[in-house]
Structure 1
Amino acid sequence: MIRRATTDDVAAITALIHDLAEYEKASDECTVTEAQIATALFGDAPAAFAHVAQQGDAVVGLALWFRNFSTWDGVHGIYLEDLYVRPEFRGAGHGKALLTALARECVERGYTRLSWSVLKWNTPSIEFYDSLGAQPQDEWTTYRLSGAPLAELGGR
């Protein structure tokens, strides 16, 4: 079952994010707390949204996303920040069902795109995305400014 996340899911969502960080070999970089997730998803001005995959009573997968905006199309889209299904539940259709729910959000709201990034070494995910007809955007290079360089540029 795929559904919108609720406040009852905060602990499970936070745990899934930490599991994803471990899968991506970056667990030392993942410092997010349940309080931060609760505020981001359910605070006064939510900055992000989430759908969860539930099997029985357990939350086994996550799609955490936020709205972006296409200046060329003049409408919003969805940027999928995290898609993760616990390894023991993969192959049961949860990942595809989560992406289907986000595609449905796009279609119903008139959004023109659903975008995400994938690590170059993550062959199983790349093959999965290719099977859905998703197209890699090879002409773009992702940049990130964080830590000391962000603070310096920001005047701190």
Structure 2
Amino acid sequence: MSGGPVVRRARPEELTDVVALIAEHAVYEKAEPPAPGLEERLRPLMFGSPEPRLRCLVAELGGTVVGYATCSAEVSTWDGAEYLHMDCLFLRDGHRGLGIGEALMDAVRDEARALGVGHVEWQTPAWNDGAIRFYGRIGATSKDKRRFLLPVT
């Protein structure tokens, strides 16, 4: 598709752009902004080894990064198997509904296949009807669960 989105792994020099998208994502989800120093904390997770702990995919359109997805391998005790956890998927305003989200999801699936895992899991806020419709359109199913956070410090 000529002039369409290019989805690929993020490069170290794009981390500032990714962090800017993460901040926009936090605003979109009505969450607290990322704590200062996020770029320095993410750099070793994303680029510190040939097989990074955190995989980051970016969607580029017209030479500009307009979206991202992050994922990492996790383990399901019940399944006794690994799966790919997609922590974030976000597209900048004005870039939804153009097929970019689906291209990012295809790239996430490719990451899962490359790792040899059988499925991808993620969550989205219950109020995010647009995302819920999108995930349904691409064949995803949902489970009713709540996510908890327990500080340890």
Q: Same fold by TM-score, threshold 0.5 exceeded? A: yes
- The aligned length equals 146
Query: RMSD of aligned C-alpha atoms?
Result: 1.7
Does the residue aligned with 1:87 lie in a helix, a strand or coil?
A: coil
Does the residue aligned with 2:74 lie in a helix, a strand or coil?
A: strand
Counterpart Cα distance in 2 of 1:17 and 1:29: 9
How far residue 31 of structure 1 moved from its aligned partner, in angstroms, is: 1.3
How far residue 96 of structure 1 moved from its aligned partner, in angstroms, is: 0.7
How far residue 9 of structure 1 moved from its aligned partner, in angstroms, is: 1.3
Does the residue aligned with 2:112 lie in a helix, a strand or coil?
A: helix
Which of 127, 130, 133 pairs up with 2:139? 133
Q: Output one character per residue of 1:129-152: Cα deviation in whole Å (capped at 9) or x when no partner.
A: 1111111111x3322112xxx22x
Does the residue aligned with 1:142 lie in a helix, a strand or coil?
A: coil
How far residue 105 of structure 1 moved from its aligned partner, in angstroms, is: 2.1
Look up the match of 1:49: 55
Which of 91, 98, 105 pairs up with 1:99? 105
Does the residue aligned with 1:104 lie in a helix, a strand or coil?
A: helix
Which of 114, 119, 135 pairs up with 2:120? 114
Which of 23, 27, 34 pairs up with 1:30? 34
Counterpart Cα distance in 1 of 2:67 and 2:33: 21
How far residue 91 of structure 1 moved from its aligned partner, in angstroms, is: 1.4
Q: Does 1:81 align with 2:98?
A: no
Whichever residue aligns with residue 17 of structure 1, its letter is: I
Q: Unaligned 5+ residue runs, structure 1? A: 152-156
Does the residue aligned with 2:127 lie in a helix, a strand or coil?
A: coil
Does the residue aligned with 1:119 lie in a helix, a strand or coil?
A: coil
Look up the match of 1:154: none
Whichever residue aligns with residue 23 of structure 2, its letter is: H
Does the residue aligned with 1:97 lie in a helix, a strand or coil?
A: helix
8 Å contact kept, 1:65–1:82: yes
Counterpart Cα distance in 2 of 1:128 and 1:107: 21
Look up the match of 2:73: 67
- Over the matched positions of the two proteins, sequence identity in percent amounts to 33
Structure whose alpha-carbon radius of gyration is higher: 1
How far residue 72 of structure 1 moved from its aligned partner, in angstroms, is: 4.0
8 Å contact kept, 2:27–2:33: no
Does the residue aligned with 1:137 lie in a helix, a strand or coil?
A: coil
TM-score scaled by length of structure 1: 0.85
Relative to its length, the structure with more helix (as a share) is 1
Q: Unaligned 5+ residue runs, structure 2? A: 1-5
Does the residue aligned with 1:117 lie in a helix, a strand or coil?
A: coil
8 Å contact kept, 1:73–1:112: no
Which of 6, 12, 15 pairs up with 2:17? 12
Counterpart Cα distance in 2 of 1:46 and 1:107: 16
Counterpart Cα distance in 2 of 1:42 and 1:15: 18
